[in-house]
Each structure stands twice: as structure tokens, then as C-alpha cells.
Amino acid sequence: MTREEFSEGLTRIGIAVRQPADAATQNVYFDALDDQTTAEEWGAFCRAMVVAGRWKFFPAVRDVLDALREFRGAPPLEQEAVQAYERVLEAGAYTPEGGTSWTFRGVRDGCGVAAAEAFIAAGGHAAFVTSWDEAKRRERFIAAYAETARCAPETRLLPAGKEQKALPAVDHYVAAGEAAGLVRAIAALPEAQAVVPRPKGATIVHADERRLDELRRQRDAIMAEPVGESA
């Protein structure tokens, strides 16, 4: 998109609100929005905003970006923020002893990062556990959600039923060759012997006779299979 193509659209918006942009404003807006859209989309977008009477005053860059997302079919951020707020209310965990409680991690995993950040901005568990001053709590949440989602779209509300999970950390990985060596070492030991060669960082497990029988069956199954070279 050329500066001329961009300026034509922005001038159209400026005339519609009776605040045509000067050259400096045109340059600032072009630098901020040039990589956000194409010439064809920008022209259609500006015409649509004028027809709809979207703004009464000249819009800020963030307002243009919000309108551009909606022009592409996304729901308004404030509407999405209300949905996120309702989802957070449902994300509390109930126990007979302690009632309903909310945690940052629970909200993040069930609703997304933007909702979790807004949850903290609105007062966290202490604010959600009571209905006192609910209107201000909701207002703080919606404002914080919209701001976070605007700056980082990837943090927006997760689809219902989807959780954001992280894989657990692995302290020690045992390769196939190393595992085969351990199995052979175990097989060579007397059944009552407690000292077993183990890799650094591994955990010793003390087992009863029932658990030992299960381990023997697993050992026999592993020993029956051919073992390839470790990577």
C-alpha cells in the first residue's frame, strides 16, 4: 500500500468526522498501520466506516485496529471481554469446606492468558469471592481484558472446553540403551538385593512383594523384546 492510497482512506475518515488529518498525522498513522492491512482492504474498510458512522471524532490508532478486526469478522473486544468475564465466574472450583475459589492458573488454563491477567487486575480471588462492588469489578476486568487482547491477540479467550496446558518438566531422560542395561542389571541381582545401579537424578522406590511381582513381569516382558541401539 502506498502512502497516497493510505492517505486517501484516512482523509475520507477525517472529512466524515469534520477533522481532516494533517500531513504529520497522516505519516504517523501510515507508519503504525501500513503492515496491518492491504490497499484493497484499507479502501473498503474506510468507506465502510464512513457509511456506518463509526466515529464521531477522529479515531486513535488503537480504535482503527479494533474496527479493522471487527471489519474482518471478529467480535468487538468489549463483547468478547464480557464473555471472558462470564467464563471466569464459571471457572471457580467449589468445595463444601471452602466454597468457591479462583486461582490465576485455573483461569489461565480454562480461559486464556488475557482473561487471567484481567482476573488479577479486577482483584483476583478476593474480588470474585464476594458480590460486593461487582459493577466495578466487572468494569476493571473488561478494561484490562480488552487492553491485553488488543496488544497480544494470541492471549484472547480460549474456545469453550479447551484448556491451555504445559507439558511437565522432565528431570532425567533414560535412553533405550541405558534402560536395557538397567533391566539386565536388575535381572542379574538376587531378588532380595536392594542396591540397584541407577542414573544420576533417578528416584529410589521401595516396593512391597506385590509391587516386586509386577516389576518382575515388566522385566520379563522387556527382556523378551529386541533392543535397538540408543540414539
Say how many domains are in the chain: 3
Domain assignment of residue 167, yes or no:
no
**For residues 89 and 103, what is the distance between their CA atoms, to the nearest angstrom?**
11
Average pLDDT over residues 219-224: 71
| Whether residues 62 and 86 fall in one domain | no
Domain assignment of residue 231, yes or no:
no
pLDDT of residue 150: 82
| Whether residues 62 and 16 fall in one domain | yes
Domain assignment of residue 166, yes or no:
no
Instruction: Express each pLDDT in 143-162 by its tens digit.
Output: 999 888 888 888 888 887 65
Indicate the residue among 51, 71, 91 that finishes a domain: 71
| Whether residues 112 and 138 fall in one domain | yes
pLDDT of residue 73: 82
Per-residue pLDDT at 170 exceeds 80:
no
Sign for the CA dihedral angle at 98, 100, 102, 106 comes to: positive
| Whether residues 49 and 12 fall in one domain | yes
Domain assignment of residue 115, yes or no:
yes
| Whether residues 53 and 117 fall in one domain | no
| Whether residues 23 and 37 fall in one domain | yes
Task: Supply the pTM of this predicted model.
Answer: 0.52
pLDDT of residue 11: 94
| Whether residues 47 and 82 fall in one domain | no
Sign for the CA dihedral angle at 38, 39, 43, 46 comes to: positive
Domain assignment of residue 169, yes or no:
no
More confidently predicted of 60 and 200: 60
| Whether residues 45 and 100 fall in one domain | no
| Whether residues 51 and 95 fall in one domain | no
Instruction: Express each pLDDT in 4-17 by its tens digit.
Output: 999 999 999 999 99
Mean pLDDT (the chain) is 80
| Whether residues 49 and 67 fall in one domain | yes
In Å, how far are 18, 22, 47, 79, 106 from 57, measured between CA atoms?
Answer: 8, 15, 16, 22, 41
Indicate the residue among 55, 71, 87 that finishes a domain: 71
| Whether residues 143 and 95 fall in one domain | yes
| Whether residues 150 and 182 fall in one domain | no
Domain assignment of residue 228, yes or no:
no
What's the domain range around 106? 77-155
Instruction: Express each pLDDT in 107-130 by its tens digit.
Output: 999 999 999 999 999 999 999 999
Indicate the residue among 46, 71, 96 that finishes a domain: 71
pLDDT class of 138 with cuts at 50, 70, 90: very high
